[in-house]
């Protein structure tokens, strides 16, 4: 079972920041937080991951609370191409541990 809770859907105006929340209150100390997205029927695409510290890359920022029980994925300037299902996943930092997907958040970016 997925160990995260996400809202089923969100809307965001084009050009504005999209803030996608994720609750992972039972996260263990050695579990990372991963974010993936799936655009239409394509394969899921890796966005970002983190353990304790906030992370930023060319796609997004990841803010993890100090107690690590929740996190927020931030798309700073959402575009129509960011419309997708976004998955928040917690996973032990072991290579042979598969990702367990939940239902994710369907983000709709509106012009």
Partner 1 sequence: DAGITQSPRHKVTETGTPVTLRCHQTENHRYMYWYRQDPGHGLRLIHYSYGVKDTDKGEVSDGYSVSRSKTEDFLLTLESATSSQTSVYFCAISETTKSNPAGELFFGEGSRLTVL
98 binds partner 1 (CB under 8 A): yes
Kindly tell me which of 3 and 14 has the beta carbon lying closer to partner 1. 3
**CA–CA gap between residue 47 and residue 24 (Å, rounded):** 18
Residue pointed to by tokens 């997708």: 84
Among 45, 54, 65, 79, binds partner 1 (CB under 8 A): 45
Helix (H, G, I), strand (E, B), or coil: what is residue 38? strand
| Stretch of residues binding partner 1 (CB under 8 A), selected from 8-16, 37-45, 62-70, 71-79 | 37-45
14 binds partner 1 (CB under 8 A): no
53 binds partner 1 (CB under 8 A): no
Residues that bind partner 1 (CB under 8 A): 32, 34, 36, 41-46, 49, 51, 91, 93-96, 98-104
């Amino acid at each position: 079972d997925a160990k995260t809770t996400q809202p089923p859907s969100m809307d965001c105006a084009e050009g504005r920041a999209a803030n996608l929340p994720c609750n992972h209150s039972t996260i263990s100390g050695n579990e990372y937080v991963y974010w993936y997205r799936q655009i239409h029927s394509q394969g899921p695409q890796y966005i970002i991951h983190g353990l304790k510290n906030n992370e930023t890359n060319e796609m997004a920022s990841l803010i993890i609370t100090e107690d690590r029980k929740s996190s927020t994925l931030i798309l700073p300037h959402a575009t129509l191409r960011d419309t997708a299902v976004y998955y928040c996943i917690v996973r032990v930092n072991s290579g042979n541990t598969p990702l367990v997907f939940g239902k994710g958040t369907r983000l709709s970016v509106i012009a």
